[in-house]
Chain A
Amino acid sequence: MSTPEIAVDSAELVPPKRSLAEQLWSLCRRQPLGAAGGLVVVAMIAMAVFANVISPYDPEANSFEHMLSPPGADFWLGTDQFGRDIMTRIIYGARTALFVGFTAAVVGATAGLVLGVASAYFGGKFDLFFQRVMDVFMAFPLIIMALAVVAILGPGTQNVIIAITLPFIPQCARVVRSSALSIREIPYVDAARALGYGHARIILRHMAPNVVAPYLIMLTSFVGQAILLEASLSYLGLGVQEPTPAWGLMLQGGAEEYAESAPWVPVFPGLAITLAVFGFNLFGDALRDLLDPKLRSR
């Protein structure tokens, strides 16, 4: 900051740009666990996107010749009670999990972001009322809340997304609000008001972008939570319906009857869920460390 006044040529001030590969490498060295999480996330996304290319069988085709075959050369992870290849269904299941997980997390966190910032910006009675409404929502455990929503709307992928999104909103709104409260006192918000900007512009353009760190952290942890919630709801028969491949559904089909006679049926989808949630949580933790300037080493 000791540069002389007026028009220093810009080239000297900008730090030298490192290549993307170099940046990624230094990131991996500083956050090995986060990098592992990131790897899981990337692998899962790849699985979901290229499911029809990489999976060896049709996920929904029954085959009575191969019912409950153990893992082997033809079926790497075995088949289920309808003779469907479990690996194929896990790969396709990533699609369901990611679709539900990302949609619910993005919609829930973004709605929470806007509402949380608005609550902090308007303050006073609006803030008080809004926070009490959020309290009511947060009083329900996540799964109970989601169950109630599904019970009202009925099962199905779309309703599962709504059921998972709703309990995320107050969680994100609360965290974002506390960050936004400190942002509101910063002079650039006063400057925006003095310039006569509308409320929406101040909230969305001036305050929301500056609480992006807690928002991103909430977002990644929400994806993991949403995948787990979707699996839970599907397991309880309230989520995604057969024959759509979904991990929770596969677990349900397998756990009840075949836990002893054909353990590969429940074990592999269970592992997939565990790994996915673990991966997203590691990734989220690393992201939090990176975005927190106090923990960042430069």
Chain B
Amino acid sequence: MSAAPDIRARAATSEDVLVEVKGLKKHFPVTQGLFVQRVIGQVKAVDGVSFTIRRGETLGLVGESGCGKTTTGRCILQLERPTAGEIVFDGVNLEKLSEKELSPLRRKIQVIFQDPYSSLNPRMKVGEIIGEPMKVHGVQPDPGKRQQRVAELLSVCGLNPKFADRYPHEMSGGQRQRVGIARALSLDPEFIICDEAVSALDVSIQAQVINLLEDLREQFGLTYLFIAHDLSVVHHLCNRVAVMYLGKVVELAESDELFDNPLHPYTQALLSAVPIPDPTIEKTRAHQTLQGEVPSPMKPPSGCVFHPRCPMAVESCKAGIPELIEKRPGHWVACTEVS
């Protein structure tokens, strides 16, 4: 895993890189024992992930449940301190900062959570939820102006400014998610992590929130890391997409390139699972169903983590860990069998 990120890093610096994740690892210890806790293993939630996000770009991060995409997001947000690796934001290595030094930088990195019901404090009014960050960071110390700004943010997010006096439980899921977005915008961030931001919403509301996210990207020049498992949403919204499997990035490419021309066998299986909204094509299409279960991240398979389920696996896959290599311009694949 050492050579590939370096080459990529060099290639990327020529462009305007906002976020750079280098060799990120997050292992959670598993302990056993009633009195004396022994560490009996490590859950390797994220195991050597590297990618860059350019300014103004939307990077999609996809993969099935438990593949480490949310943990990656939490590490970038510094909600979890990584086991190893670096996260460089706008030239600053976040891993070297203390909690105090981190505080001003937190303004620039914000998050929108999956569940609009639990991501808002039920005891606070919407106006307080959106206004509080500005108060804490001293962006808008004057209460009157802050209220004005809250109203502004609400209407930017497609909500009636009167909603400032409501409690979250008086609103629908879609409305709450808009409040979550308004809160994320309140500090004028540069980078927003959307952690399954639309997965918990109805399909019709999903579309509205996606449009809102797109509008905001234009309006405020935002950069997104869009974590999702809904591939059609990712295809629509993202410039580039990274596919994760069991804590590793297996493929990374421009969105259209990845969807038209997936190279990694896992990506191919993943894309074949997306239904096509045309019954005649859907009926005749050959589905590539993966056999077996996702292995435990506590005991990942040797070599390529995908080899037990891979239709293309050969003997050598059990031994060597494939590196993420640029097989085509801008198209990175971690598979030795792909040429």
Contacts and interface: CB of A to CB of B under 8 A. Distances in A.
Co-assembled chains A and B? yes
Interface of A: 1-3, 5-7, 10, 13-14, 186-188, 190-198, 201, 205-206, 209-210, 212
A209 B137 contact: no
A109 B103 CA distance: 32
Nearest to A5: B174
Nearest to B113: A187
A180 to B, nearest CB: 14
Given A6-B158, A191-B113, 12 more contacts: A1-B173, A5-B158, A5-B174, A5-B175, A6-B159, A6-B160, A10-B162, A187-B118, A188-B121, A195-B136, A196-B104, A196-B136
Interface residues of B, number: 41
A189 B107 CA distance: 16
A52 to B, nearest CB: 40
Contacts of B110: 194-195
12 contacts: A1-B173, A6-B175, A7-B163, A186-B118, A188-B119, A188-B121, A190-B74, A194-B77, A197-B132, A197-B136, A201-B136, A212-B123
Nearest to A209: B123
Interface string B184-214: 0001000000000000000001001000000
Given A5-B172, A10-B166, A191 B106 contact: no
A45 B74 CA distance: 51
Given A5-B205, A6-B158, A196 B107 contact: yes
B79 A193 contact: yes
Contacts of B173: 1
Contacts of A14: 170
Given A187-B118, A188-B121, A210-B121, A194 B104 contact: no
Contacts of A188: 118-121
Contacts of A194: 77, 79, 106, 109-111
Contacts of B187: 195
Nearest to B193: A194
A192 B124 CA distance: 13
A187 B119 contact: yes
